[in-house]
Chain A
């Protein structure tokens, strides 16, 4: 008897006009697991997160979260159920202070009324000392960390991380990797989209490789790089062995 997955995606389809971006994607995330979602540009990784977090409605297929069908629910409902995400290009509430950015998510995003220690949360993403500044005063890396704090303030069980590592220096990368591993150790399931393979290797338990809206590989990264189809997709078919 296997434990129930936190998130199960099955046959997910999403197209924009004639362009099919997700063409029947299947995968699942277990509680406490970090699943990497990799693939070339345009393979549907971000769209996948956008559908899971309610920005787009799926056209076919199912999204099951903790045994419940959640496909097509609006974002704020999904947040209340415990699904959240970070954005590839975060758009914080610029004139509000860093603290207010997190406060509003803690006030509106939690299903429980547990008080959130905002100072501790800001400190955990390295934003202590910035709480009183407007979010507009943060640089883009700090805005990414604020976006992570905003997501964490809602107490998610499933966190989708969209290219959080891009643009970070090696020390920051290690810090973020450690942070994500800590979250997973606490029972959170994570879906991580990333182009930096070193980072993927460092944090993920398992990866799904997407190409043209379909998953072409599922397993650990070390095996993925030996998979003929994966290598073809990333490097082209005309390479010499």
Chain B
């Protein structure tokens, strides 16, 4: 518990203070976004075993929830963020029937749902409401420093949720559901409710950070915030580091997103080669992520 809180404190402090020392705030912001999304994936995949290939749907729903609240309701950014979170949770509620599916069927249905969201939002006939394919401009609320700070706050809250899940009965119950729903039911756990809560919690996380993303960049297209890359990156980062831990997804983001930014744009061919080999090596030798290596060496990783 203490080592978990220390880890969380270090990550949050670093995210909050680095902009003072490092000029590329956008890069740091993207790190915060992926740190948050990877933990959101961790909640639903690490603790209940549902692989959310369409996780970006919640992110986009949050981005558009924020944008619609600003454009049409003329809300200030913080209340608009509440709308972003609500939009993602509503989408999560709408998609709860997907939880009846399992394994690859869930992953594919979730992917399809997120793409359907993209098609709905970018429909030219809805231009009056969503600006359709032409994208959103929120220059009136543009405020990089404040929105960065709020993003760090959301990261902190998400990490706090993870600490809770790692150390609470509820987190134990979710892991029981992941391992065997039938036995979990006979342990007295309400399987449907547990899954739904985890699902909506992960939607809340992605929707909140999606709303801040819209606020921070202020100008974006539907393809930007519904890009499958968000889902894939968040899942790969979480798996690479090690799911159902707090440290795992953090390490995954720092290492893989670090490599991506170091050479992903300047030398994309080598980047893809290195990425591919790293991931293959991991799947073959460390299927439980990097943290399993530390555990093998006898360190207790939160």
Contact = CB atoms under 8 A, between A and B. Distances in A.
Given A93-B175, A93-B176, A104 B189 contact: yes
Contacts of B185: 54-55, 74-76, 79
A151 interface: yes
A163 interface: no
Contacts of A80: 188
Interface in A67-121: 74-76, 79-80, 84-85, 87, 90-96, 100-101, 103-105, 107-110
B198 to A, nearest CB: 15
Nearest to B185: A75
B229 interface: no
Contacts of A62: none
Contacts, number: 82
Given A104-B169, A107-B172, A93 B189 contact: no
A74 B189 CA distance: 10
Interface residues of A, number: 32
A84 B186 contact: yes
Given A93-B176, A95-B175, A96-B176, A105 B182 contact: no
A111 to B, nearest CB: 9
A46 interface: no
B187 interface: yes
A93 B187 CA distance: 11
Nearest to B190: A76
Interface string B217-245: 00000000000000000000000000010
Contacts of A103: 169, 172
A74 B190 CA distance: 9
Nearest to A111: B188
13 contacts: A54-B185, A74-B190, A76-B189, A79-B185, A91-B183, A92-B179, A93-B180, A95-B179, A96-B172, A105-B186, A108-B189, A109-B186, A154-B188
Given A95-B179, A107-B169, A154-B187, 8 more contacts: A54-B185, A76-B190, A79-B188, A91-B182, A92-B180, A104-B169, A105-B186, A109-B187
Interface of B: 169, 172-173, 175-176, 179-180, 182-192, 244
Closest 6 CB pairs of A and B: A109-B188, A75-B185, A105-B187, A108-B188, A79-B188, A93-B179
